[in-house]
């Protein structure tokens, strides 16, 4: 038997659900966002990806979750009701919200001039997306996002405490979070 851990849920989101993709990435889910056609739909479904769409003609197909709501947070609530999401604090904010790539730790000196001076002087740890090179750092956004997700999705959002989450507590407490220079929070 290969692997001991649970299978990581992965999503592919039809291009019309981009804000849902951002929120799933904030939760740390591997979430691709792209225009889908019949061939891509079949390929992703055969590989175990959950396909999220609003396209009515695909409703009822294996591996497809059709979302009917219009607003992104309503769509997240609908998704959570149909395919429960969890809040793994070790996975939270571990992906670039634009590219979906896993963030990498970088040396402070590598971000000198890329972040505000005050941030550089007061923050010890930085992460960067290897694809788009956006820089992220610990900040108050994590607590705000957790509060919003719990408020919007209900307190039923299970919290999973992993070793990664516990190690983050040592570097800033459970309310520390990743923040990036501009336009980090998904807009409503």
Q: Which tens digits make up the pLDDT trace of 33-76?
A: 999 999 999 999 999 999 999 999 999 999 999 999 999 999 99
Q: Pull the structure tokens for residue 108.
A: 């402070």
Residues in Cβ contact with 141 at an 8 Å cutoff, skipping those fewer than 6 apart = 93, 177, 178, 179, 184, 185
Q: Which of 109, 151, 155, 153 is nearest to 128 (CA)?
A: 109
Tell me, what's the pLDDT at 87?
A: 78
Contact 97, 171 (CB under 8 A): no
Q: Is the pLDDT of residue 116 over 90?
A: yes
Tell me, what's the pLDDT at 159?
A: 64
- Which of 86-90, 121-125, 152-156 has the lowest average pLDDT? 152-156
pLDDT bracket for residue 89 (50, 70, 90)? confident
Contact 136, 62 (CB under 8 A): no
Average model confidence (pLDDT) for the chain? 81
Sheet with 126-128, strands from edge to edge, namely 104-106, 126-128, 135-139, 177-180
- Which of 9-18, 45-54, 80-89 has the lowest average pLDDT? 80-89
pLDDT bracket for residue 152 (50, 70, 90)? confident
Q: Is the pLDDT of residue 96 over 90?
A: yes
Cα–Cα distance, 63 to 54 (Å, whole number) = 14
Instruction: Set out the domains of the chain in order of their start, with CATH numbers.
Output: 8-85 (3.40.50), 87-188 (no CATH)
Average pLDDT over residues 69-91: 90
Question: SS3 sequence, the chain?
Answer: CCCCCCCCCEEEEEHHHHHHHHHHHHCCCEEEEECCCHHHHHHHHHCCCEEEECCHHHCCCCCEEECCCCCHHHHHHHHHHHCCCCEECCCCCCECCCCCCECEEECHHHHCCCCCHHHHHHCCCEEECCCCCCEEEEECHHHHHHHHHHHHHCCCCCEECCHHHHHHHCCCCCCCEEEECCCCCCCC
């Amino acid at each position: 038997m290969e692997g001991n851990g649970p299978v990581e849920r992965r999503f592919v989101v039809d291009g019309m659900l981009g804000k849902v993709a951002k929120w799933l990435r904030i939760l740390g889910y591997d979430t691709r966002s792209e225009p889908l056609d019949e061939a891509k739909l079949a390929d992703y479904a055969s590989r175990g990806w959950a396909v999220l769409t609003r396209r009515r003609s695909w409703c009822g197909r294996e591996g497809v979750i059709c979302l009917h709501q219009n607003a992104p947070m309503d769509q997240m609530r609908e998704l959570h009701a149909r395919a429960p999401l969890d809040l793994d604090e070790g996975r939270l904010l571990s992906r670039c919200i634009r590219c979906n790539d896993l963030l990498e730790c970088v040396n402070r000196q590598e971000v000198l001039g890329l972040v505000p001076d005050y941030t550089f002087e007061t923050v010890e740890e930085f992460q960067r997306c290897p694809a788009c090179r956006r820089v992220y750092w610990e900040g108050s956004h994590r607590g705000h996002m957790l509060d919003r997700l719990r408020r919007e999705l209900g307190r039923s959002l299970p919290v999973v405490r992993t070793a990664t989450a516990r190690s983050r507590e040592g570097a800033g407490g459970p309310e520390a979070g990743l923040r990036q220079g501009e336009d980090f929070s998904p807009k409503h």
